[in-house]
Amino acid sequence: MTARRWWWVAVLGMAALTGVLAIANLQTPWRLTLALTGIALLVVTWAVVGDRRAESESPSWTLVLLVTAAAGIGTAGYPTLAILQALAYPISWVFAARSRDAVVGNVLIAVAVGVGFAIGIGTGPEDIIQIIVTQSLALGFSLAMGFWITRMVELGEERGRLLTELQGAQEQIAALHRDAGAAAEREHLARELHDTIAQDLTGLVMLAQRARREGAGAVETLALIEENARGVLAETRALVAAGASVETGETRLDLLNALRRIAERFQRETGVTVTVQGPERLVLPRDLEVVVLRCAQEALANARKHARASRIEVGLVAEDGAVRVTVTDDGIGFDPDDAPDGFGLPGMRDRLALVGGSLTVTSAPGEGTRLAAEVRVQELTL
């Protein structure tokens, strides 16, 4: 039911109850007239003034004063009709603009009903004491209940406001999480592009340059270009399919064979001798396998672009709950502290950090380079 209907139930219920009491117990015509006048004034006041304000509960001093008069008049006709103040007090609290106005309204109701009592039962000393005690208790109870209910309403509104703010904050956090997820996905895609397609395209460029130098005898180099181009296409499709791990016709490769395949391809493209050593059939979880292989690819790509090496050694070690891949070359070396971004070291460190791994770079000008990427593994399959 709506607030408007509940108010009507309360008003009509009170009117019916007090009307029955007045008619059943009063015999003096003027008392009955006063009692019924107070009841009628209550109903008419609500119908004319209160009904249109019930839903919005907009303030109305007119409503409060007329209900106060109805309670006083009814009580003057029949003192038992003082129970009308049980409805008058809530109306004062609900339809007063402020708590201070509600308190004033409550006092007026208590006074009006007290005057009605004086008219109905007399003004003797004992009657006055009884009226004062009764109305003081009624007023005190109404004020206590009114302030308590008002406080509960204020707390409810405050909690509603806080809930709205919390929901807004949750929506902002969700938006930030979505943005962070999108940024992480972009970074992931950038790493995959750098570690796969960009490296393969670099190899294609170098092979094309070699083919140009070889002229008409570049049949083998052209075959390598075609093979690498097909590899780039496969990598691109894997990225689109959100795969981008090192795969062949088999479902998966063990790490050592995967590294050998990468090394063989690198050696054919560059002419640099590459050896691979490590345990046979070492299988890692897919995400760790991808990280290790990509780090090895990046290290080989760095050697191709910067090292001027004649020999490269790739080692794979699994011990003490960790897997470590090392790439060592006999090239010109460099100062790791002054390495430019083009060496791809920040990308390798970021990739390893995502799985709790680490990267160690050992190098010096003229002394070659050794890169070691290590990841922790809970279970190793050999």
Q: Give yes or no for residue 60 having a pLDDT over 90.
A: no
Task: Kindly state the percentage of the chain with pLDDT values over 90.
Answer: 28
- The three-state secondary structure class of 128 is helix
> SS3 of 334, please?
coil
Question: Going from the N-terminus, what domains does the chain have, and what CATH number goes with each?
Answer: 3-122 (no CATH), 183-376 (3.30.565.10)
DSSP string of 333-380, one letter each residue: ---GGG--GGG-HHHHHHHHHTTT-EEEEEE-TTS-EEEEEEEE-S--
Q: In whole angstroms, what is the distance from residue 381 CA to residue 195 CA?
A: 26
pTM of the model: 0.46
> Which token pair is 158?
């405050």
Say which residue the tokens 């904050």 belong to. 169
With a cut of 70, say whether residue 381 has pLDDT above it: no
Q: Does residue 238 carry a pLDDT above 70?
A: no
Per-residue pLDDT reduced to its tens digit, 320-358: 889 999 999 999 998 888 766 555 788 788 888 888 899
- Report the DSSP pairing between strands 322-329 and 369-376: antiparallel
Q: Reading across the β-sheet that carries 322-329, which strands appear in turn?
A: 273-277, 311-319, 322-329, 369-376, 358-363
CA distance 120 to 80: 10
Over 80: is that where the pLDDT of 120 sits?
Answer: yes
Kindly report, residue by residue over 146-187, the tens digit of the pLDDT: 888 888 878 888 888 888 888 888 888 877 776 765 566 566
Mean pLDDT of the chain: 82
